[in-house]
A = this chain, B = another copy of it.
Amino acid sequence: MGNSTGQLFRVTTFGESHGEGLGAVIDGCPPGLPLDLDEIQSDLDRRRPGQSALTTPRKERDRVQVVSGVFEGRTTGTPIALLFMNHDQDSKAYDDTKDLYRPGHADFTYASRYGHRDHRGGGRASARETVARVAAAAVARQLLAGRYGVEVVAWVRAVGTIIVDIDGSTVTRSTVESSPVRCPDAPTAARMTEAIEAARADGDTLGGVIELVARGVPPGWGSPVFDKLEADLAKSCLSLPACKGFEIGSGFSGTTMSGSEHNDAFGLQDGLVHPLTNNAGGVLGGISTGAPIRIRCAFKPVSTHFKTQQTVTADGETVSFKNSGRHDPCVLPRAVPLVEAAALLTLADHALRTGALSG
């Protein structure tokens, strides 16, 4: 329970950081969709550690294996299983912290929930789990692009206190990808890089904010009252490791506007009804308006830093410890494909749900 998402484009993931492998099963992808495996792989490569000096140099050979559901290059309508076998399962690095509850990590809560804990690299709680979501979302991306003309782009909006406003109507994935820190504004990207390097030098870590825009979503996607589009987007984002906040459109800052400022007037665009501004962020009453969907996600600073910490062992002893090894001082660049994955899975599901009801 808890390892599936979506009602019609339904994805189930499995696997632990240092187990035999990880994967995803997509049940509900429509048949006949041409699948470009290279594109899936390139989406996967974006979340891989070791892409740049900014990210951890651990090597994860994440070659996706399509086990089922694709025949002669097209989806068949049967479940698509995507598999990643783990090749480097050396978990010795985790032996030191094996018996203690690392602050900021899920060691204590998993032990509370399941009565035991897989200490090897976080087990199921590891961010490595997201490889499966990103793979499934890469299929969703091709469905959304091919059948609906939807395009999803995310970028780093803030690292620590360094923040930048980007024009969501024009930003492209290639601009984002051209920056190692995945911030499409070069001067800001440079300052973010500096801040990350400084944190690394200090043995400390940083958080930040990811922003995302989905362009081309037609009016009418979303299933009120509980499965509002923004509600499912929020859930999908908050299910990402380290995500602590979500907003859509004006979000928290919109709470200080007056109603007459905030309301987006409707006008006509090519003869079609369209909001003239977009404080709503592309949704009204849980359903897409046709304007770009715009969301932001807050990520807490990485929990694995290299300063001394206090904690408790499984046996109830108070201890202090210090992490060793190599870890990202800032996950924000690698969180970009994760937030895209969260949005893509939600949008693909709602695309099919809207089609079903009109059926």
Contact = CB atoms under 8 A, between A and B. Distances in A.
A103 interface: yes
Contact of A298 (B1, B12, B25, B251): B251
A244 B239 contact: no
A67 interface: yes
Interface in A57-77: 65-69, 71, 74, 76-77
A8 to B, nearest CB: 5
A258 B206 contact: yes
Interface in A241-255: 241, 243-252, 254-255
A354 B113 contact: yes
Contact of A234 (B31, B223, B246): B246
Interface string A108-133: 11101111101000011100010000
Interface stretch (A48-56, A167-175, A180-188, A309-317): A309-317
A262 B207 contact: yes
A309 B311 CA distance: 57
Contact of A25 (B14, B299, B309, B310): B14
Given A81-B14, A234-B246, A318-B267, A285 B204 contact: no
A116 to B, nearest CB: 6
B357 A5 contact: no
A107 B104 CA distance: 44
Most buried by B among A251, A271, A316: A251
Contact of A3 (B79, B113, B160, B239): B79
A201 to B, nearest CB: 13
A313 B271 CA distance: 12
B12 A220 contact: no
Interface in A285-328: 285-290, 298-305, 307, 309-312, 316, 318
Given A78-B16, A251-B245, A304-B259, A25 B27 contact: no
* Residues of A contacting B: mostly: mixed
A19 interface: yes
A145 B132 CA distance: 33
A269 to B, nearest CB: 10
Contacts of A301: 254-255, 257-259, 261-262
Nearest to A84: B67
A273 B316 contact: yes
A199 interface: yes
B298 A264 contact: no
A23 interface: yes
A310 B265 contact: yes
A290 to B, nearest CB: 8
A124 B231 contact: no
Interface in A77-98: 77-81, 83, 85
Given A1-B10, A224-B239, 17 more contacts: A1-B227, A1-B353, A3-B226, A16-B78, A103-B264, A104-B262, A105-B284, A109-B288, A112-B288, A124-B225, A160-B255, A207-B256, A232-B235, A245-B247, A259-B301, A259-B305, A267-B310
8 contacts: A1-B28, A3-B78, A14-B80, A109-B220, A246-B247, A260-B305, A266-B311, A267-B310
Q: Which 4 interchain pairs have the tightest Cβ spacing?
A: A106-B285, A2-B223, A355-B359, A205-B259
